[in-house]
Amino acid sequence: MNFAGKVWRLLVGIKDALALLFLLLFFMGLYAVLTTRPSPGQVHGGALLLDLDGSVVEEASQTDPLQVLLSQEMPAGEFQARDLVRAIDAAATDNRIEAVVLDLSRFLGGGQVHLSEIGAALDRVRAAKKPVLAFANAYVDDGMMLASHASEVWVDPLGGAVVAGPGGDRLYYGGLLERLKVKAHVFRVGTYKAAVEPFLGGGMSPEAREDAGALYSALWEEWKADVKKARPAANLALVSGQPVEWLAAAKGNAALAARQAGLVDKIGDRVAFGQRVARIVGPDEWDSVPGGFAHTDLAPWLAANKPGKQGKAIGVVTIAGEIVDGDEGPGKAGGDRIAGLLDDALDDDLAGLVVRVDSPGGSVMASEEIRRAILRHKARKIPIAVSMGNVAASGGYWVSTPAQRIFAEPETITGSIGIFAVVPTFENALGQWGVTTDGVKTTPLSGQPDLAAGLTPETETMIQSVIENGYARFLSLVAKSRGKSPAEIDRIAQGRVWAGGPARQAGLVDQFGGLDDALAWTAQQAGLKDGEWHAKFLGSKTDAYHSLLQALMGSGEAGGKASANDLVALLTARQAGLTQRLSADLDRLLTTRGAEAYCLSCPREPHGAAMSTRSRAADSGLMRILGTLIRD
C-alpha cells in the first residue's frame, strides 16, 4: 500500500505539473497573440496589395468577443478610409512598390466621400507613373467607383458590372401598426423631417419625396462625374439608362457587356490577372500559388509608414455612426465616450482641434454632451474646425456648431436640422384581448406616459412643446455658428437634407475639402508651418481582442472573410440589409428614447454591405418579437 501511495502521488504530481505547463503555455500564447503587431520587416516590395474583403468606414468598430465566439464567425472586415489613403500615398513615392493592386472580389462598399478620397489617392499613384490594377468577380456601384481609378480593370469571365445608382424603397409600418392596434404618437418639428414617416402611413410624403429626390440626384451626378473623369470611355448613359438593351447586345454575357461599355479593360480569371501583375512586379518568391505575384500586404505596409509625430499636436476627434447615449463605440458615437476623450485631451496642450463627423445623428442629449465638450476646448482659445465625411446631418450637424470653419465634400450629406420623438402605446391592442386599465390619479400627469392606457392630452401637449423648444435651440445654435438669424436658418432647416454643394450655397458649409484641408487650416490659424505640427487622433487604440479572435477563428487580417460573389449575388446583397433596417426601425419604435435629431434619408449602410455578427444577433431577437406580434 505504501508503494501504491507513492506511485499515486507521483502520478498526481505529474498531472499537476502538466496542467501547470499547459496553462503557462496557453497564457504565453495568449500574450503573444495580443502583442503581435504587423512588422515593417514584412514589407517585400513588388505590389501593394489591397485585398478589400469588407467595407470602407470612417472608424472601425470594436469587436465583441462574446458575440464572435457564440456565432463562430468574425464580423465582416472594416478598413478605415484614412489608413487606405495613407497607404496608397506612401506607395506612390516609395521605390519598393512598383504597382498598386486592388482585389475587390469581396468588397462590400463604402460611403461616397471615402471612395472619392481613395480614388484621388489612386490617381496620385498613376501620376507617379506606377500602374494600378483592379480585379473582381463582379462590380456594382461602389466597387466600380474605386476600380474606375485603376489603369487596368479586370473582371472574371463569369462576372460583370452593373450600375444601379443611389436610392430605392424603404419600409413603412403604418398599415402594420393599424392592424396590430398599436398607436404611434409622433412629435416632430420640420416639414421635411421624414424620420418619423415610416410609423405614420404607407409611403413618403410629397415633402420627403422632394427632399430625397434632390439629395439622391446630387449624389448620382457626383458619382457619374467621378467615374467619367477617371474613365472617359465608359458609356454610363447606356449602362444606367438602358441596362436591358445593353446586356442583350452581349447575349447575356455580363463580362463582355462590361468591356464593351468601357467599364472594364480585360476579362480573365484570378490566375490570369495574377500572371499579368507578375509580369510587372515579378513572381511571388514566398508562395508558389498559381497567379502569385510579389506583393506587400496592407497591415505591414501601414506599420512601415506610420504618421510622423513631429511638432505640436492638433487633436482629431472622430464622431462616427449613430450618436447614442452612453459609452458605445467605436463604430457608434457614444456621447459619454467621446466627451470623455475630449476632456482627457484638455491636458494634452493641443494647438487646435478638428472634429471629424461621419454621422446621421441620433440622441439630442448625447449630441449636446459632445458639443459641450468641444466648447471646453474652444474656451482655451484654440482654433476648431469640422471636417464632414459622408454624413454630418441632424445630430451630426448639432455637434458641428462650435466650429469656426466647416469643411465638407460635394458628396457629403448634411443639414436635416429638425427634432422628433416617437412614443408607442398599446391601449387598443390590449383592449382586443380584454385588458383594460383603471386607477386613481392625483394630477393629469400621474402614471404618464402610460404605454398601456395611452397618453393624456396634457402629456402630448407637453412632449410636443419640449420638441419645439429643442428645435428652437437647434436653430439658435446653428444661427450663432453661421452668423445668421434663427429665422434665416429656419428657412433652410425644417429637417431638409442637403448635399455638400447646395449646403455650401445655403451657408451651412464654409468650403470644400477633406480632413487634410481642415488640419491645414487649423494649423495655419494656430500659427504653425508645415513640419511644425502633427495630427493626434484621440482614442485611436488597436483592439487587442481582434488579433486574438482572428487567430482563434482563422480569419484574415481585416476581419471575417466576406464571400467572393458573382454579379447576381452582389445585386441581391444590396438588399441583404432588409432585416437590419427592420430591426433598426422596430428598435426606434419600441426602445425608450428621448428627443432625437436623426436623418432618415441619409444612407446607413454601404451598398451591398453584409450585416455584422452583432447586427444579425439583434435582428434575430427583434424578428422573433415581430413574429410574435403578428402571430398573436
Quick one: three-class SS letters along 262-320?
A: CCCCEECCHHHHHHHHHHHHCCCCCCCCCCCCCEEEHHHHHHHCCCCCCCEEEEEEEEE
Handedness of CA 384, 388, 389, 394 (dihedral sign): positive
**Residue 394 bears catalytic tag:** yes
From 105, 394, 583, 612, active-site residue? 394
Nearest of 112, 195, 104 to residue 154 by alpha carbon: 104
DSSP H/E element including 472: helix 457-482
Query: What ranges make up the beta strands (E) of 545-632?
Result: 596-598
Which string of b and e fits 428-458 if b means at least 16 CB within 10 Å?
ebbeeeeeeeeeeeeeeeeebbbbebbbbee
**Residue 555 bears catalytic tag:** no
Set of cell numbers at residue 610: 453584409
Please list, in sequence order, all residues whose beta carbon lies within 8 angstroms of the beta carbon of residue 28, skipping any fewer than 6 positions away: none
From 105, 148, 183, 193, active-site residue? 193
Contact in structure between 236 and 117 (CB atoms under 8 Å):
no
CA within 13 Å, CB half, 259: 16
Which string of b and e fits 479-510 if b means at least 16 CB within 10 Å?
bebbebebebbbebbbbbbbbbbbbbebebbb
Nearest of 371, 378, 387 to residue 350 by alpha carbon: 378
Set of cell numbers at residue 18: 502538466
**Phi/psi-derived region of residue 355, left when phi > 0, alpha when psi is between -120 and 50, beta in every other case:** beta
Contact in structure between 129 and 97 (CB atoms under 8 Å):
no
User: Whole-angstrom Cα distance, residue 317 to residue 385?
Assistant: 11
Nearest of 260, 371, 396, 381 to residue 321 by alpha carbon: 396
CA within 13 Å, CB half, 121: 24
- Amino acid letter for position 275: Q
Burial of 320 (0-12, 13-18, 19+ CB in 10 A): buried
Task: Please give the C-alpha separations between residue 75 and each of 304, 431, 488, 612, 619, in angstroms, as whole numbers.
Answer: 26, 43, 45, 5, 15
- Amino acid letter for position 490: D
Contact in structure between 576 and 610 (CB atoms under 8 Å):
yes
Nearest of 53, 113, 112, 117 to residue 88 by alpha carbon: 117
**Which residue carries 449575388 as its cell?**
569
Q: Catalytic residues, which ones?
A: 193, 394
